[in-house]
Structure 1
């Protein structure tokens, strides 16, 4: 049995839907189908999720939203008409949209989550309608009825352990497809909460683990996962096979093809993942597999960069002699509800690296003030100009000279490194640079390790 998930670009319009349905029909093992919300149909289009966010904002501010309801429903209506489905079969979809502002929510965060989730909810219902219309037995599964329970915050949910117990009770009938909306679940008190954006990948992985699937197929709009960002490196090498932990490391630093949190359920269930192109399903795509028995083809599997980081640097003599020093800093971060990414240190120096997108200016000021008062460093500096370049590959673990070969071209081109972190993981090297140098660093490292391996 296979679980199959389609991204937003794969379900954006009637033609895309038709291609997705052809893929479903092509393999009887594709029994569980996870839908995203309709994505962009063309470059300047608006995703349905973004339309729903605007709908939520209008509702929060007390405005009517007749026009935007019509625009959202029109997206589903156009797809349905492509298959000859009449409007009377879509009445439930329209009613669900219209009812959203009248529902009761604990706060505006829950309201926003509920509105956003309806992109996937309506698309799953529509997929079931169209498949049945074409003579393919299909059943929409409601996450609430299925017991798809989550914890966490309204717009950053985490799967609850009891969800796996509940989902395992789902009956998979022969020759029937079940259609499950991605991206959201229900809290223990019965309210919708969404995973972080792109979280339909997470739903697919959860279902793959639940049913112990032979394969989790993730269809998107690229032929494979590439060894570097194609916007930075022309025609980068496609990755045929990579490990879970390689994907985790690369996703963290900037690879966005596959949601990094979706790997956790797949790892727990040891479910292989195949990332493929909806429009070229005959191509092999990229397999993401467990580490055991994996034989790397190259030293480096991929290179990624993230330009959304910042750092707090402090210097204090005899830092290494102070008991509880790190604990005091961690308490400051906890008091300000802030998590950190990395904390490389020396005998007198320490750098704390943050995801800048998760910090407000007020939190930055509060942290710096508290560290100055509590720690009293000889030097304290906030560095907003910070990027991370990540080199990842199972082949690095037992290959000498990787660090030298990676940093040599950077030095030759005048790129200084603010941080080097190797050792926490045998399969990755993390380099800290200025933001303006990150893209060139990726290009230079790619040339050093991967250009001579291209066909």
Structure 2
């Protein structure tokens, strides 16, 4: 059995939904479908989830929200009319929104989760009803009925391990099933949304629960590119990539498939394929546990993300001082800051984190390090970008690092730091934000031309 997830652009209009169901109904193995909220219909459009957040803001600020609610209803009505649905589902959507607002208006975080999740929930109901009217018996299942029971922190749902036993029972159902993505239910009965990439996470949880043969993730591109298509003109599509490679590339800005969604699949080695709803015949990109690497194209992908900060510390004989690094990490932990990289030498260490982690806390952190660590030199560097060069075969291929550093040197890009993790499938380069796009272009040309 396959689990198929369709993103917001794939289910944004009635015509797109018809495409989705043609894909679903063409393969008997596509029995469980996860859907997102309607996305943008055009470049200047607003995602349904964003409309729901604006509705929440009106309610929470005790403003008249009637117009905003009508805008959301109109969005769903366009889809219902386009599908020529004969049910009175729009009235149910209106009642549900009003009920959530009245019940949760004094619990802001709960209200936000409940409203944000409504886009997926209503869309799943519409799609299931339409497919049934077209003669394909299709069942809408809420995440609660599907067995998706999660932790209770608003906006940060984590699946409970015990859920998988209930999810496995979905194998016994005979009809096609539509499940809304992005949220689950806590044991207390609260609606709780997953963090970013929530619908991808739902699909991965269901795929693991039923032990699917394949998790299909349909979007608006025909796979994962070797580099950002907004930077590189018509980059190659990767045919096959490992979970580990995808994790490294997602970290540095590859947004097609969220890295957190790989976690439920990794242990059970369930493959993922990224496919295009508008071109379902394209082979797409497979994300697998292991693969053979191509020695001619050992670098799978190149990504670069901006917005990092580095704390740089020097201490003579640092390597002989027991517990030095622990003191620094405790300072970060006490200020709720996580770090991303920690390249070091015998007398120096740099701690790299996303700027959003430390913003507003810079002076407090520096003062604490000076006070508790008896350092020689200390400075903080802002406006860093992290360039990731990723490939499973890099550790067994001579000259890869030289190729990348030569490309960066030829492009007159200054390297602020280099780090290669113990996995030996990636190399990280710290550069200035202003050099980010140029670095990707230089490395792509060197690796694939």
Instruction: Pick the TM interval, shorter chain.
Output: over 0.9
Q: More displaced, 142-151 or 254-263?
A: 142-151
- 1:150, 1:193 within 8 Å by CA — same for their partners in 2? yes
Q: What residue ranges of structure 1 are gaps of 5+ in the alignment?
A: none
Q: Deviations over 1:115-152 (max 9, x none)?
A: 11111111111111111111111111111233311226
Q: Does 1:327 align with 2:337?
A: no
User: 1:91: Cα distance to partner?
Assistant: 2.1
Q: Structure 1 153/417 Cα, relative in aligned 2: closer, same or farther at 3 Å? A: farther
Q: More displaced, 418-427 or 9-18?
A: 418-427
> 1:392-403 counterparts in 2 under 5 A?
392-403=390-401
Instruction: Tell me what 2:411 maps to.
Output: 413
Q: How far, CA to CA, are the matches of 1:105 and 1:296 in structure 2?
A: 56
> 1:263-302 counterparts in 2 under 5 A?
263-291=262-290, 294-296=292-294, 298-302=297-301
Q: How far, CA to CA, are the matches of 2:193 and 2:85 in structure 1?
A: 29
Instruction: Tell me what 2:109 maps to.
Output: 109
Instruction: Tell me what 1:186 maps to.
Output: 185
- 1:296, 1:394 within 8 Å by CA — same for their partners in 2? no
> 1:208-223 counterparts in 2 under 5 A?
208-223=207-222
Q: Structure 1 172/138 Cα, relative in aligned 2: closer, same or farther at 3 Å? A: farther
TM-score normalised per structure 1 = 0.95
Instruction: Tell me what 1:256 maps to.
Output: 255
Q: How far, CA to CA, are the matches of 2:294 and 2:165 in structure 1?
A: 36
Instruction: Tell me what 1:154 maps to.
Output: 154
Q: How far, CA to CA, are the matches of 2:20 and 2:417 in structure 1?
A: 45
Q: Does 1:132 align with 2:132?
A: yes
Q: What residue ranges of structure 2 are gaps of 5+ in the alignment?
A: none
User: 1:110: Cα distance to partner?
Assistant: 2.6
- 1:185, 1:194 within 8 Å by CA — same for their partners in 2? yes
Instruction: Tell me what 1:372 maps to.
Output: 370
Instruction: Tell me what 1:386 maps to.
Output: 384
User: 1:90: Cα distance to partner?
Assistant: 2.8
3-state SS of 1:110 partner: helix
3-state SS of 1:185 partner: strand
Q: How far, CA to CA, are the matches of 1:83 and 1:61 in structure 2?
A: 36
3-state SS of 1:397 partner: helix
Instruction: Tell me what 2:145 maps to.
Output: 145
Q: How far, CA to CA, are the matches of 1:317 and 1:106 in structure 2?
A: 56
Q: Deviations over 1:321-341 (max 9, x none)?
A: 211111111111111111111
- 1:13, 1:75 within 8 Å by CA — same for their partners in 2? no
Q: Structure 1 169/87 Cα, relative in aligned 2: closer, same or farther at 3 Å? A: closer
User: 1:166: Cα distance to partner?
Assistant: 2.2
Instruction: Tell me what 2:63 maps to.
Output: 63
Q: Does 1:33 align with 2:33?
A: yes
Q: How far, CA to CA, are the matches of 2:268 and 2:78 in structure 1?
A: 38
TM-score normalised per structure 2 = 0.96
Q: Structure 1 139/429 Cα, relative in aligned 2: closer, same or farther at 3 Å? A: same
- 2:411, 2:439 within 8 Å by CA — same for their partners in 1? no
User: 1:400: Cα distance to partner?
Assistant: 1.1
Root-mean-square deviation (Å)? 1.6
